[in-house]
Amino acid sequence: MHHRFRAASLLTLAVLTLTACKSSSNVKLSGAGSTFVYPVMTLWIQSFSQSHPAVQINYQSIGSGGGIQQVKAGTVDFGASDVPLADDQLSSMPPIIQIPETAGPVCITYNLGAVSGPIQLSPESLAGIYLGTIKSWHDPLIAKDNPGMSLPSQPIVVVHRAESSGTTNAFTTYLSAVSPEWQSKVGKGTNVSWPVGLGGKGSEGVTGQLRQSPGAIGYVELTYAQQNHLPVARIKNLAGNFIEPTLQSTTAAIDGFTTQLRQDPRQPIVNPPATATDAYPIATLSFLIIPKDGPDKAKRSALKSFFQYIITDGQALAGSLNYAPLPEDLKQFNQQQLNQMTAAGQPIQ
């Protein structure tokens, strides 16, 4: 009887020890922010989890502004934003590291069932549509952009993001660069006072509004347009070419700002110079917003491993969803920044 009790006790102890080891080895990480990178972030998490099954990562697609606020409040382990924090914003944050993770085009998509696309839009036409001065698809400016195309005399339904958004920042930064009227009346930012239009929450909300609104136009990341079978417009760049949003044309936009990005990776990549003849003019880098230090060594080590994966092997995977890989200069910058991550004030091994 004594031996049976001892054996049972040892078995119970072994189970408890195994359970404790298992629970302590599992690490749960949370992130929030950009809807723009949500498709590729989901892919990165799935791929990373296959080789790191003990690490569980949850990412909430709530918009860049929300992600920054949650990092500031300390309610997530990392954020993602398509608009990097400026120096004055950094001063109000806990010590953070921000590194570019990928780049992609901001696509102009539309709901014109009767038109066999793709349509072409000049900066003047696009700014006029969002200013509310161009109200119909049959407007002479749009007709000039699309010679020989039969455009409907259909009202344009403008759709934009409803919340603080890095995609909005990229789009309005572009409009401010190409239209003095837009710059003076509206300006750029993650959340602006839109002259016209319907708001949709997240890129998901914008695509939802587009699908149910004939004549609508909106801006989203390329994957959202593709997944919802929406056409994308070709946009005229400074070289005078109408360019389709692709991985290659986004890479060309990055290449157009090589010198500036070496000096500061926060450089916007909209409206590249005319020498970048094949560059798509509305693209953005997206950034990881990472607390520099944290108390939990297991969490911090797992975080660093995940980010290390994103800036190396994850770059090739991003291309499968038409996100542009980072150039070598930015990868080296990222590595230097990640090496500054600490756990309880100590370097992460």
**What integer is the mean pLDDT of 22-48?**
89
Q: Which residues does 195 contact at the CB level (< 8 Å), separation at least 6? A: 130, 131, 132, 185, 186
- Give the range with max mean pLDDT: 15-19, 55-59, 113-117: 55-59
Mean pLDDT taken over the chain: 91
pLDDT for 16 equals 35
Residues 80-113 have pLDDT tens digits of: 999 999 999 999 999 999 999 999 999 999 999 8
Q: Name the CA radius of gyration of the chain, rounded.
A: 23
**What integer is the mean pLDDT of 148-156?**
93
List alpha helices for 116-231, DSSP H.
123-131, 140-145, 166-178, 180-185, 202-211, 222-227
**What integer is the mean pLDDT of 157-175?**
95
User: Which has more pLDDT, 344 or 116?
Assistant: 344
pLDDT for 7 equals 39
Residues 212-238 have pLDDT tens digits of: 999 999 999 998 899 888 999 999 999
Supply the pTM of this predicted model.
Answer: 0.88
Residue 148 has pLDDT above 60, yes or no: yes
Residue 4 has pLDDT above 70, yes or no: no
**2-11, 252-261, 273-282, range with the lowest pLDDT:** 2-11
For β-strands 283-291 and 198-200, DSSP reports them as: unpaired
pLDDT for 115 equals 85
- Using 50, 70 and 90 to split pLDDT, how confident is the model at 114? confident
Residue 124 has pLDDT above 90, yes or no: yes
Strand spans (E) along the chain: 27-33, 55-61, 78-81, 96-110, 120-121, 157-161, 198-200, 216-221, 234-236, 242-243, 283-291, 342-343, 346-347
Q: What share of the chain is helix, strand, coil (3-state, %, to 5)?
A: 45, 20, 35
What is the residue whose two structure tokens read 């001063």?
A: 91
Residues 189-213 have pLDDT tens digits of: 999 999 999 999 988 899 999 999 9
pLDDT for 25 equals 64
